[in-house]
Amino acid sequence: MIPMPVMILSGGLDSTTLLWKLCLEGKRVYALTFDYGQRHRREIEHAKKIVKKAKEVGFEVYHEVVDISSISHLISSGALTGNESVPHGFYTDERQKVTVVPNRNMIMLSIAAGYAVKMGESEVYYAAHKSDYAIYPDCRKEFVKALDSAIYLATIFTPVELKAPFVDMTKAEVVSLGLKLKVPYELTWSCYEGRDRPCLKCGTCLERTEAFLLNKVKDPLLTESEWEIAVKEYRKYEKEDKQKTISN
Ligand SMILES: [Zn+2]
């Protein structure tokens, strides 16, 4: 039997790269996309488009959108689900902490682990990577290790393993891999603002621009003129960030 891992697909760069990696390894995949009342609900639509594309290229993906929005008021009032505005600037900036949805990944992974048991599968994947360490504690290696042990103990009669293959990679390294795997990045969505087009100024937009810049390619989601603006914004915040580091 071919293993069919369960994975969390947000519709962003990292989880889409993970989906392509698993499918290219010959796996069939159960992909879960969570609706937790996020302001950037557009990513859910993008996740659907990504799965459609995956099926078109011959991958076997079963997709579920899991609605946990009824608990969003219990877990957050931050910038992603509440009324606070999304801060502009780099991820590493203290201001970005308002974009943390407390314990979000553990909630989603816990549901994914239960789903894996139900489907008779033994692996859950998610696309945590090194660039998110600074402000998202539930993307850190220590968290992955601890949750892997907890999930194992909780499912001990039909054990499930938690895997985060990008945990030692930066976002640019994930994108570098994805470019080789021909991931359809034009279908992915990152911006935290809930607008029609990416704002190009929020932490996740800047991080995305940086990942493509370091790979010396244009972000395929953007038009040429949007890309020009994205690079300018990135350079502007990069300069600010350097000045701040010097003055500290
Ligand atoms: Zn943005």
pLDDT given for residue 136 in this prediction: 75
- The predicted model gives 135-149 an average pLDDT of 87
Strand partners, 161: 123
What whole-number distance in Å separates Cα of residue 220 and Cα of residue 182? 12
Q: What is the pLDDT of residues 37-85, one digit of tens each?
A: 877 788 999 999 999 999 999 999 999 999 998 887 777 656 556 556 6
Q: What is the DSSP letter of 96?
A: G
Output b/e per residue, 53-72; b: 16+ Cβ within 10 A.
bbeeeebebebeeeeeeeeb
Q: Please check the confidence at residue 248 and state whether its pLDDT lies above 80.
A: no
Distance 126 CA to ligand 1 centre (A): 22
Contacts of 93 (CB under 8 A, 6+ apart): 87, 203, 241
What whole-number distance in Å separates Cα of residue 5 and Cα of residue 122? 7
Share of the chain above pLDDT 70, in %: 86
What whole-number distance in Å separates Cα of residue 183 and Cα of residue 19? 9
pLDDT given for residue 44 in this prediction: 93
Comparing 240 with 204, the larger pLDDT belongs to 204
Distance 240 CA to ligand 1 centre (A): 18
Write out the two tokens for 237. 């915040």
Report in angstroms the alpha-carbon separations of 27 from 132, 149, 187, 242.
Answer: 27, 24, 21, 43
Distance 120 CA to ligand 1 centre (A): 38
pLDDT given for residue 76 in this prediction: 66
Write out the two tokens for 185. 């990045």
pLDDT given for residue 91 in this prediction: 57
pLDDT given for residue 93 in this prediction: 61
What whole-number distance in Å separates Cα of residue 101 and Cα of residue 6? 22
State the pTM of this model.
Answer: 0.91
Chain-centre distance for alpha carbon 163: 14
Residue ranges of domains in the chain: 6-189
Distance 227 CA to ligand 1 centre (A): 13
Residue 3: pLDDT band (50, 70, 90) is confident
φ, ψ dihedrals at 40, nearest 5°? -90, 60
Q: Please check the confidence at residue 171 and state whether its pLDDT lies above 60.
A: yes
Contacts of 183 (CB under 8 A, 6+ apart): 13, 16, 17, 20
Residue closest to 129 by CA, chosen among 243, 18, 5, 9: 18
Residue 150: pLDDT band (50, 70, 90) is very high
- The predicted model gives 219-226 an average pLDDT of 98
pLDDT given for residue 193 in this prediction: 84
In terms of CATH, what superfamily is 6-189?
A: HUPs (3.40.50.620)
User: Mean pLDDT highest for which of 58-72, 93-107, 232-246?
Assistant: 58-72
Distance 202 CA to ligand 1 centre (A): 4
Distance 184 CA to ligand 1 centre (A): 19
Residue 130: pLDDT band (50, 70, 90) is confident
Distance 77 CA to ligand 1 centre (A): 19
pLDDT given for residue 80 in this prediction: 58
What whole-number distance in Å separates Cα of residue 78 and Cα of residue 95? 11
**CB half-sphere exposure, 205, CA atoms < 13 A:** 28
Average pLDDT, the chain: 89
Residue 92: pLDDT band (50, 70, 90) is low
pLDDT given for residue 137 in this prediction: 78
